[in-house]
């Protein structure tokens, strides 16, 4: 059953496009619109524009565009009705289930998987908080200095030792065998389903919208592996997730800074202590995609990894990934062998901020300090070799402020004249520029699909766009254009949009671009319409406007005639090849007539 237009209109009035998009993109006001980094392709300069008064967004980089519904569809990979339902939940509007009855295929399967994972998280949490079987898991979590409140808030849990405990629980709630396997909650052995996670503390992992999409699990009985994640599934792709982000998002936006920790326990301990802008990658290996996502929500990142060798190497490995995404990176230092979780057992959040966060060093300075591991005698016999390598690092850094800070550090630590160091770095930078080896940002295609290079539109395509823009804003004009031009619009997306508009005006007496966009269950058409609305100035009435419409219609008519001429020329060639003189004469006569129209 189709979602009624009246409901879509009510939903459009209740939801705020800025609020919906700001959950994913950091927006700044720019005149009448808002701009930010596009969430649909990787970029370092914002080209994503949101027009809240008109109810649509458009990216001038990749061409993505639409309204609140299409934004949710694209960001969460949901079909139209599911996206409408999700927005209705946010707006606290009742959404009848019968509107979902026609929703088949991937959308309904996705909902089933999310429901199974949500039920599993609640099951594991219930066991650890309320059941004797979960005593060992609760003892472990409390022993890690986590409160019962944080255990409940983050749905931490325990997977019992039984082979089919979760399977039985979920199958009684109509979760299918296929869903249990696809979500990796169960595995198949000897034709029977078995719980994948057994005798483990369970950490639900959420996507950026706050939905459980997988689990991290720690063994309690010495089983290997010690840590076990959900395998990669369509919902769970650890390189695209950040642990705790759905709860940290607001604090990150407020502070303008993300605290990137090493693991689940670090994030939980930090959030419990009131440091709520902490997140963690799922494993120490950060991906470029995660870095680009962090850039969309805040400019600054502090790396907070363990003080041991492994933690510092992880920081050194992830630092360039973050900087290549355009982030300002600092690195916090903890005592060797101490992680944030252990640190906060003896210090409060205020001390943590003063002693750890406020003393964090720049990414460049951390690189120089980390470089000493390759030069054990950097203060004595290896001093010159160390300084040479350090100057090479400085030469490739693009921040003049950080370079100057690092030069001061090197001069003071190694008793070297700062002017000599500065001259060496300048010489190296000039050499890099001359050889074309100046450090470059990561190619965007390695992060996600880069914006395509577009050809310039042809004249008849521009004319069709201008007519479609007027059709979006004026019902009578739409009907006039349909009457005066009977041919196909040049591009398939233009023809589709024209057909949607004429269908809409068949049941609506007024033009309302926002309402029209909300009624469309076709993201590509919404995208194209949003692009037209975003690029074009308001259409002005008057003689000039009337003349413009006539010119555009004439341009399309000439295009239609030129297509007919091309078809006839092909027919003429075919008739000549067959020796059909009568057909040749007829084609030549029609060609003469059509060419006269273009004269």
How far apart CA 510 and CA 474 sit, in angstroms, is: 8
What's the pLDDT score for residue 447?
A: 37
Task: Identify the CATH class of 106-236.
Answer: alpha beta
Side-chain half-sphere exposure of 363, counting CA atoms within 13 A: 24
What's the pLDDT score for residue 227?
A: 92
| Omega prior to 303 cis, within 30 of 0 | no
For residues 321 and 291, the answer to whether their CB atoms sit within 8 Å is yes
- CB under 8 A, 24+ apart: contacts of 107-113: 107/78, 107/79, 107/81, 107/82, 109/179, 110/77, 110/78, 110/82, 110/234, 110/235, 111/82, 112/175, 112/176, 112/179, 113/179, 113/182, 113/183, 113/233, 113/234, 113/235
| Ranges of the chain with pLDDT below 70 | 1, 100-107, 284, 436-456, 536-543, 599
Residue ranges of the chain assigned to CATH 1.10.860.10 = 459-594
Residues in contact with 51: Cβ distance below 8 Å, sequence separation at least 6, in sequence order = 32, 33, 57, 58, 533, 534
What's the pLDDT score for residue 539?
A: 52
How far apart CA 66 and CA 50 sit, in angstroms, is: 10
- H or E element in which residue 228 lies: strand 227-229
Side-chain half-sphere exposure of 127, counting CA atoms within 13 A: 25
Residue ranges of the chain assigned to CATH 3.90.980.10 = 106-236
Residue ranges of the chain assigned to CATH 3.40.1360.10 = 240-359
Distances (CA, A) of 395 to 250, 421, 423, 424: 37, 11, 11, 9
For residues 302 and 260, the answer to whether their CB atoms sit within 8 Å is yes
pTM here is 0.71
Q: Which CATH code fits 240-359?
A: 3.40.1360.10
How far apart CA 162 and CA 165 sit, in angstroms, is: 5
Strands 56-59 and 33-36: unpaired
For residues 471 and 477, the answer to whether their CB atoms sit within 8 Å is yes
| Per-residue DSSP letter, 98 | G
Q: What CATH number does domain 459-594 carry, 3.40.1360.10, 3.40.640.10, 1.10.860.10, 3.20.20.70?
A: 1.10.860.10
- Rg (the chain; Cα; Å): 31
Q: What CATH number does domain 5-100 carry, 2.40.110.10, 2.60.40.10, 3.90.580.10, 3.40.640.10?
A: 3.90.580.10
| Total Cβ atoms within 10 A of residue 580 | 15
Q: Is residue 296 left, alpha or beta, with left meaning phi > 0 and alpha meaning psi from -120 to 50?
A: alpha
Residue ranges of the chain assigned to CATH 3.90.580.10 = 5-100
What's the pLDDT score for residue 448?
A: 41
Burial (CB < 10 A; 0-12, 13-18, 19+), residue 435, is exposed
Residue the block writes with tokens 């800074």: 257
Residue the block writes with tokens 């949009």: 497
Side-chain half-sphere exposure of 433, counting CA atoms within 13 A: 9
Q: How many residues does the chain have?
A: 599
Strands 257-261 and 300-304: parallel
What's the pLDDT score for residue 218?
A: 96
| Total Cβ atoms within 10 A of residue 381 | 10
Assigned token pair, 207: 């996507």
Residue the block writes with tokens 């991906």: 287
What's the pLDDT score for residue 114?
A: 92
Give the per-residue SS3 of 102-148: CCCCHHHHHHHHHHHHHHHHHHHHHHHHHCHHHHHHHHHHHHCCCCH
How far apart CA 84 and CA 234 sit, in angstroms, is: 22
How far apart CA 368 and CA 108 sit, in angstroms, is: 52
Find, among 357, 384, 364, the residue nearest to 323 by Cα: 364
């Amino acid at each position: 059953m189709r979602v009624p237009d009246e409901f879509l209109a009510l939903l459009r009035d209740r939801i705020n496009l800025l609020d919906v998009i700001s959950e994913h993109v950091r927006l700044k006001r720019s005149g009448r619109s808002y701009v930010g980094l596009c969430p649909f392709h990787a970029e370092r300069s914002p080209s994503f524009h949101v027009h809240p008064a008109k109810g649509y967004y458009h990216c001038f980089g990749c061409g993505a565009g639409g309204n609140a519904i299409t934004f949710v569809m694209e960001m969460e990979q949901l079909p139209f009705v599911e996206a409408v339902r999700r927005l209705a939940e946010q707006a606290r509007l009742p959404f009848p289930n019968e509107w979902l009855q026609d929703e088949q295929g991937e959308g309904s399967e996705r909902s089933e998987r999310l429901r199974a994972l949500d039920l599993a998280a609640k099951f594991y949490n219930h066991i650890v908080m309320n059941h004797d079987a979960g005593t060992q898991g609760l003892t472990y979590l409390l022993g890690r200095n986590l409160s019962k409140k944080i255990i409940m808030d983050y749905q931490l849990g325990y997977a019992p030792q039984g082979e089919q405990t979760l399977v039985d629980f979920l199958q009684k709630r109509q979760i299918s065998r296929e869903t249990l396997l696809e979500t990796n909650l169960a595995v198949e052995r000897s034709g029977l389903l078995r719980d994948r996670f057994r005798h483990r503390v369970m950490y639900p992992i959420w996507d950026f919208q706050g939905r459980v999409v997988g689990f991290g699990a720690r063994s309690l009985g010495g089983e290997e592996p010690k840590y076990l994640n959900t395998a990669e599934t369509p919902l769970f792709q650890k390189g695209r997730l950040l642990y705790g982000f759905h709860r940290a998002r607001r604090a990150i936006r407020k502070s303008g800074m993300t605290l990137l920790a090493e693991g689940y326990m670090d994030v939980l301990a930090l959030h419990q202590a009131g440091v709520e802008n902490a997140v963690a990658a799922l494993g120490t290996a950060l991906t470029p995609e995660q870095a680009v996502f962090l850039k969309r929500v805040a400019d600054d990142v502090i790396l907070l990894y363990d003080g041991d060798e492994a933690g510092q190497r992880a920081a050194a490995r992830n630092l360039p990934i973050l900087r290549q995404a355009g982030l300002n990176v600092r690195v916090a230092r903890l005592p060797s062998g101490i992680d944030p979780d252990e640190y906060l057992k003896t210090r409060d959040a205020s001390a943590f901020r003063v002693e750890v966060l406020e003393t964090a060093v720049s990414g460049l300075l951390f690189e120089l300090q980390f470089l000493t591991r390759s030069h054990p005698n950097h203060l004595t016999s290896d001093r010159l070799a160390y300084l040479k390598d350090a100057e090479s690092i400085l030469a490739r850094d693009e921040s003049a402020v950080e370079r100057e800070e690092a030069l001061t550090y090197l001069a003071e630590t190694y008793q070297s004249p700062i002017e000599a160091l500065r001259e060496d770095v300048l010489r190296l930078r000039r050499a890099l520029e001359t050889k074309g080896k100046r450090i470059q940002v990561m190619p965007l295609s390695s992060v996600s699909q880069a914006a395509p290079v577009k050809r310039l539109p042809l004249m008849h395509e521009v004319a069709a766009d201008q007519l479609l823009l007027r059709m979006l804003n004026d019902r009578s004009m739409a009907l006039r254009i349909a009457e005066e031009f009977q041919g196909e619009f040049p591009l398939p997306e233009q023809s589709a949009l024209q057909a949607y508009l004429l269908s809409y005006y068949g049941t609506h007496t007024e033009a309302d671009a926002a309402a029209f966009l909300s009624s469309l269950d076709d993201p590509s058409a919404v995208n194209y319409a949003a692009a037209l609305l975003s690029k074009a100035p308001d259409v002005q009435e008057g003689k000039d406007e009337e003349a413009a419409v006539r010119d555009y219609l004439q341009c399309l008519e000439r295009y239609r005639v030129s297509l007919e001429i091309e078809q006839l020329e092909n027919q003429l060639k075919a008739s000549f090849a067959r020796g059909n003189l009568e057909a040749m004469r007829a084609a030549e006569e029609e060609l003469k007539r059509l060419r006269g129209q273009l004269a």
